[in-house]
């Protein structure tokens, strides 16, 4: 339930705070006062796409805060999945801030979040019904959705859609296999060439990088080998004695001395000689390795060219080339064994078709069963809403199989005695459409987890006794959930338990809109204004008071 709404710098609203109650809330005000702005603000905080043009002129940013209590299990599941929890009081606070530079931020209980998370939450927090919903009633493509919601067909639709996708995948593969023989031969030839080319290269993952490093070393090989040989000669000698021979001679000379103090020197000289022997061995081994085929620059460059050419054709890495090889081999096998695969797919297609037909029949049966109850419930409410001769029918015909089944669903209506049933779009007036929509929403409301319903001026085209009935129907819906209604009708305003007035004033050439909760006397004044359209008189005041007292 929506407890609290804070709007700041949205259009003509500078700052306003509104508290709402469970049950029936109404918003009234003169045309242009800003009732639609309140709905726009609620849409904005629920993640709807919003233009920065909504920010109040001269302000750098705008803010909307909405507090909810007693949220449903679906909301709690989304919060948990995204690392959020309700606050200490069990409430959920959503905040959206919009900036003139186009940036927008969302927060859940003070912590940053994304628009997508807020949108997911919004589906289970508030349902907003307005004149655009009448357009859904006029669109037969949407009628099946109404019926499925009432029938609770969500899981059955998932099963059906999974099989629908599976059937189409089988058909696509069959179509691919149904190529002519010449096309198959050309594809086989190309795949075999590609497979042989890649396989012959015997590529290993990481080889290209290793070769590039060897190439760099090989390009400096001559200078490197020459330097290493000079170091080696310095140690082992050439025409002249090297360090190894000279230190060996030094060792022999010191060992001839019969002084105890000379023994440590002889030991160190022997250690140095051993180190030189190890170094000379290491230098020789490195020189030998650098002068063998491993660092042959021509061979390295040839190999790099082979791998580079394959990368241009089949992928930008050794792994990508090997993946392409694996994929090509699979394609080749599929084509070569296409006859066997074709027969297998034909069998799978028949089995999938049987399953799809079975799921489709279950959907149809569910819709037909639900339609009977739906027709009766809608007619009962419409009769109460001053349409005593109404006939409402859900017409279900078989059609082609689509992603939502094989049924073509359309709502038919006869609003007056003696008229035949015809499509809703061709016979209903604006007032009748509003009542039909309210009836359908009333029937569907028990299937909704959403605790808050907002009706935005759905009373268009309704007056007199019908308006009274609509008001009491809204009040009836509000017994089990929170209802917020934007209205121009005195009868609806009088039935509310909480009456909010939206007023527009001009001060210092700036427009300001406020939202305030009305007392009993203030409600009489506002209902009087709605009834007369002008300043109250004693007659309109008494009429408004009588209407309010009768409705409470």
Q: Rounded mean pLDDT of 105-133?
A: 87
Q: In the prediction, which pLDDT does 197 show?
A: 93
Residue position matching structure tokens 């307005």: 130
Mean pLDDT, all residues of the chain? 87
Q: Rounded mean pLDDT of 180-191?
A: 81
pLDDT at residue 85 greater than cutoff 60: yes
Q: In the prediction, which pLDDT does 419 show?
A: 85
The two tokens of residue 384 are 């109460």
Q: In the prediction, which pLDDT does 248 show?
A: 83
Question: Tens of pLDDT along 490-510?
Answer: 999 999 999 999 988 888 778
The two tokens of residue 175 are 């179509």
Residue position matching structure tokens 């709404």: 5
pLDDT at residue 222 greater than cutoff 70: no
Question: Tens of pLDDT along 367-397?
Answer: 999 999 999 999 999 998 888 889 999 999 9
In terms of phi and psi (left: phi > 0; alpha: psi -120 to 50; beta: otherwise), the region of 300 is: alpha
Q: In the prediction, which pLDDT does 67 show?
A: 95
Helix (H) or strand (E) holding 146: helix 140-151
Q: Rounded mean pLDDT of 18-44?
A: 89
Residue 457: which of 425, 495, 475, 430 has the closest Cα? Answer: 430
Q: In the prediction, which pLDDT does 154 show?
A: 92
Q: How far is 181 from 189, CA to CA, in rounded Å?
A: 12
In terms of phi and psi (left: phi > 0; alpha: psi -120 to 50; beta: otherwise), the region of 237 is: left
Query: Mapping DSSP to helix (H, G, I), strand (E, B) and coil, where does residue 515 land?
Result: strand
Query: Among 134-138, 441-445, 531-535, 536-540, where is mean pLDDT lowest?
Result: 134-138
Residue 335: which of 194, 173, 461 has the closest Cα? Answer: 173
297-314 vs 181-201: helix crossing angle, rounded to 10:
150
Question: Tens of pLDDT along 281-320?
Answer: 888 888 777 776 566 778 888 899 999 999 999 988 999 9
Ranges of H-type helices in 337-484: 338-384, 424-427, 430-445, 464-477
Query: Among 202-206, 253-257, 514-518, where is mean pLDDT lowest?
Result: 253-257
Q: Rounded mean pLDDT of 472-485?
A: 89
pLDDT at residue 45 greater than cutoff 90: yes
What is the separation of C-alpha 470 from the centre of its chain, rounded to a whole number of angstroms?
A: 37
Residue position matching structure tokens 């086989």: 188
Q: Are 9 and 507 in contact (CB under 8 A)?
A: no
Residue position matching structure tokens 């927060």: 107
Q: Rounded mean pLDDT of 186-215?
A: 90
Q: Are 354 and 210 in contact (CB under 8 A)?
A: no
Range ranked top by mean pLDDT from 27-36, 438-447, 478-487: 478-487
Range ranked top by mean pLDDT from 352-366, 471-485, 502-516: 352-366
Q: In the prediction, which pLDDT does 297 show?
A: 76
Sorting pLDDT into bands at 50, 70 and 90, what band is 442?
confident
User: Which has more confidence, 432 or 92?
Assistant: 92
Query: Among 376-385, 429-438, 461-470, where is mean pLDDT lowest?
Result: 429-438
Helix (H) or strand (E) holding 136: helix 131-138
Distant-in-sequence, close-in-space partners of 410: CB < 8 Å, separation ≥ 6: 140, 143, 394, 395, 423, 424
Q: Percent of the chain scored above 90 by pLDDT?
A: 45
Q: How far is 482 from 20, CA to CA, in rounded Å?
A: 9
Q: Rounded mean pLDDT of 217-235?
A: 78
Q: How far is 11 from 14, CA to CA, in rounded Å?
A: 8
Sorting pLDDT into bands at 50, 70 and 90, what band is 170?
very high
Q: How far is 544 from 541, CA to CA, in rounded Å?
A: 5
Q: How far is 58 from 56, CA to CA, in rounded Å?
A: 6
Neighbours of 380 (CB within 10 A): 15
Sorting pLDDT into bands at 50, 70 and 90, what band is 217?
confident
Q: In the prediction, which pLDDT does 428 show?
A: 59
Q: How far is 414 from 243, CA to CA, in rounded Å?
A: 116
Question: Tens of pLDDT along 244-274?
Answer: 888 888 888 888 887 778 788 888 888 888 8
pLDDT at residue 552 greater than cutoff 80: no
Q: In the prediction, which pLDDT does 10 show?
A: 92
Sorting pLDDT into bands at 50, 70 and 90, what band is 181?
low
Helix (H) or strand (E) holding 506: strand 498-507
Q: In the prediction, which pLDDT does 179 show?
A: 67
Instruction: Compute the radius of gyration of the chain from its Cα atoms.
Output: 42
Q: Are 462 and 433 in contact (CB under 8 A)?
A: no
The residues facing 502 across adjacent strands are: 515
In order, the DSSP letters of 208-269 are HHHHHHHHHHHHTHHHHHHHHHHHHHHHHBSSSB-HHHHHHHHHHHHHT---GGGHHHHHHH
């Amino acid at each position: 339930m929506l407890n609290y709404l804070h709007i700041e710098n949205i259009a003509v609203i500078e700052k306003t705070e509104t508290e709402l109650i469970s049950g029936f809330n109404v918003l009234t005000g003169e045309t242009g006062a800003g009732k639609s702005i309140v709905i726009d603000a609620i849409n904005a905080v629920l993640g709807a796409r919003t233009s920065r043009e909504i920010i109040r002129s001269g302000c750098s940013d705008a803010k909307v805060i909405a507090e909810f209590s007693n949220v449903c299990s679906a909301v709690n599941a989304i919060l948990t999945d995204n690392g959020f929890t309700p606050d200490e009081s069990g409430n959920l606070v959503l905040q959206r801030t919009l900036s003139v530079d186009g940036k927008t931020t969302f927060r859940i209980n003070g912590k940053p979040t994304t628009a997508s998370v807020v949108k997911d939450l919004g589906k289970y927090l508030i349902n907003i019904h307005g004149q655009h919903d009448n357009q859904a009633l006029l669109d037969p493509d949407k009628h099946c959705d109404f019926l499925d919601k009432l029938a609770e067909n969500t899981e059955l639709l998932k099963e059906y859609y999974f099989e629908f996708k599976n059937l189409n995948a089988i058909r696509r593969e069959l179509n691919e296999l149904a190529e002519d023989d010449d096309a198959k031969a050309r594809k086989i030839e190309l795949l075999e060439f590609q497979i042989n080319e890649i396989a012959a290269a015997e590529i290993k993952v990481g080889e290209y990088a290793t070769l590039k490093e060897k190439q760099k070393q090989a390009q400096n090989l001559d200078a490197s080998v020459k330097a290493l040989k000079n170091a080696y000669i310095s140690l082992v000698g050439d025409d002249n004695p090297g360090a190894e021979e000279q230190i060996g001679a030094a060792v022999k000379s010191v060992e001839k001395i019969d002084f105890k103090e000379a023994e440590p020197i002889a030991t160190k000289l022997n250690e140095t000689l051993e180190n030189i022997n190890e170094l000379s061995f290491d230098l020789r081994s490195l020189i030998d390795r650098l002068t063998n085929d491993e660092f042959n620059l021509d061979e390295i460059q040839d190999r790099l060219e082979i791998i580079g050419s394959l990368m241009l054709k089949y992928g930008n890495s050794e792994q990508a080339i090997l993946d392409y090889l694996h994929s090509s081999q699979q394609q080749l096998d599929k084509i070569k064994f296409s006859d066997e695969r074709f027969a297998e797919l034909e069998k799978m297609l028949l089995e999938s078709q049987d399953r799809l037909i079975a799921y489709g029949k279950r959907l149809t049966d569910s819709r037909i069963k639900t339609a009977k109850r739906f027709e009766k419930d809608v007619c009962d409410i419409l009769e109460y809403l001053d349409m005593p001769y109404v006939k409402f029918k859900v017409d279900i015909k078989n059609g082609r199989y689509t992603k939502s089944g094989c049924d073509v669903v359309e709502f038919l209506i006869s609003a007056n005695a003696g008229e035949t049933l015809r499509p809703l779009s061709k016979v209903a007036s604006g007032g009748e459409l509003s009542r039909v929509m309210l009836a359908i929403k009333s029937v569907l409301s028990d299937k909704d987890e959403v605790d808050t319903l907002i009706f935005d001026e759905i009373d268009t085209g309704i007056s007199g006794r019908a308006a009274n009935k609509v008001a009491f129907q809204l009040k009836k819906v509000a017994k089990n959930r929170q209802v917020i209604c934007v209205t121009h009708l005195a009868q609806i305003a009088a039935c509310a338990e909480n009456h909010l007035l939206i007023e527009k004033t001009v001060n210092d050439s700036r427009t300001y809109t406020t939202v305030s909760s009305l007392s009993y006397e203030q409600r009489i004044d506002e209902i009087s204004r709605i009834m007369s359209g002008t300043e109250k008189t004693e007659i309109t005041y008494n009429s408004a008071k009588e209407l309010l007292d009768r409705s409470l």
